[in-house]
Structure 1
Amino acid sequence: MHHREVTENDIPKICKLPETREELFYCFPRASFPLSETGLRQCIGMRSDSTVVEFAGRVVAFANFYRWKEGLCSIGNVVVASEVRGSGVGSYLINHMLTLGFEKHHAEAVSVSCFNRNAAGLLLYPKLGFQPYDIEQRVDYNGDRVALIHLRVERHAI
């Protein structure tokens, strides 16, 4: 398993990682299913440190920062291929993003947000040192109320 910056050749592979409308909502809440290559390119263009994880020669995970200023980095667009979930790929990716946030961007804190229905994410992030600090009401793709839980880890906590 290794990580690297996203390349143009990764775009179609990343678009296939979210397999359902619900999975896409977790990682790209404003996107329409299926994720379009054009939409992904636009998103990457507005963000920082877009990263993929390769495992056994395949792109299996993706994340980036949607905020990377004023002492805070916020991780977004986190998605892990269904067939490798639970194998450590998500932890590997988030730990890499933490390193980028603290070392490259000199952040005092790194945050991530996770919807209440995303049990895998809600169980993963606290294991990596993230603590909840806020809850925001949102509306999902069906018009239902959902909770977006904001978590962060402070530099001194690592």
Structure 2
Amino acid sequence: MPLQHRPVTPEDIPTLCTFPQNAQELFYMFPKARYPLTEHQLSTAIAQRTESTVFEKNNRTVGFANFYKAEMHGVCCIGNVIVAPDARGQGVASYIVETMTALAFDRYQATAVHIACFNENTAGLLLYPKLGFLPFAVEERCSPEGHRVALIHMSRGSAGLGS
């Protein structure tokens, strides 16, 4: 059965909270949260964001994402991207990013879609350029352990790959 998506519901929250397997994974997904991810932390983030979306395969939740910024005829920023541990490496992340990108261009007539990835998130750094995202800025951040890390901001324009 192909992947599907739908708006998040309160019943999804407990399952989604189990996806980050450690503090580093949670930092990649949701830098402001503290491990372990709680229903309160995730519910608060969802309330402050738009288009919070659950991704399913065979009627089982396998991913999540939303927009932390969504401007009509402007920029939409994808955030809180996470894939269930047992669904990783199966194309779920690609489906999530492509679905959210299409939503930005179709529903918001976005001029660009942005996504950000920490320098230590090798899977994201390898995936996003394959989906047409190109780096445009690097921001210094601090990891939960207090180390310097780079948050790489990437963009994909409405005209297609990298534009």
> TM-score category by the smaller chain?
over 0.9
Q: Which amino acid aligns with 1:16?
A: T
User: Which residue of structure 2 lines up, in the alignment, with residue 54 of structure 1?
Assistant: 56
User: Which residue of structure 2 lines up, in the alignment, with residue 25 of structure 1?
Assistant: 27
Q: Which amino acid aligns with 2:74?
A: G
Q: Which amino acid aligns with 1:127?
A: K
Q: Distance in 1 between matches of 2:146 and 2:118?
A: 14
Moved over 2 A (4+): none
How far did residue 7 of structure 1 move? 0.6
User: Which residue of structure 2 lines up, in the alignment, with residue 89 of structure 1?
Assistant: 92
Matches within 5 A, 1:3-152: 3-69=5-71, 71-152=74-155
Q: Distance in 2 between matches of 1:77 and 1:45?
A: 13
Q: Distance in 2 between matches of 1:135 and 1:128?
A: 19
C-alpha distance after superposition, 1:16-51 (max 9, x if no partner): 110111000001101010111011111000100000
Relative to its length, the structure with more helix (as a share) is: 1
How many pairs align? 158
Q: Which amino acid aligns with 1:80?
A: V
Q: Secondary structure at the match of 1:143?
A: coil
How far did residue 75 of structure 1 move? 0.2
How far did residue 56 of structure 1 move? 2.5
Q: Secondary structure at the match of 2:44?
A: helix
- Over the aligned positions, Cα root-mean-square deviation in angstroms equals 0.9
How far did residue 58 of structure 1 move? 1.6
Q: Distance in 1 between matches of 2:124 and 2:14?
A: 24
Q: Which amino acid aligns with 1:109?
A: A
C-alpha distance after superposition, 1:72-131 (max 9, x if no partner): 000000011122111110111111101110010110000000000000000110111000
5+ residue gaps, structure 1, are none
5+ residue gaps, structure 2, are none
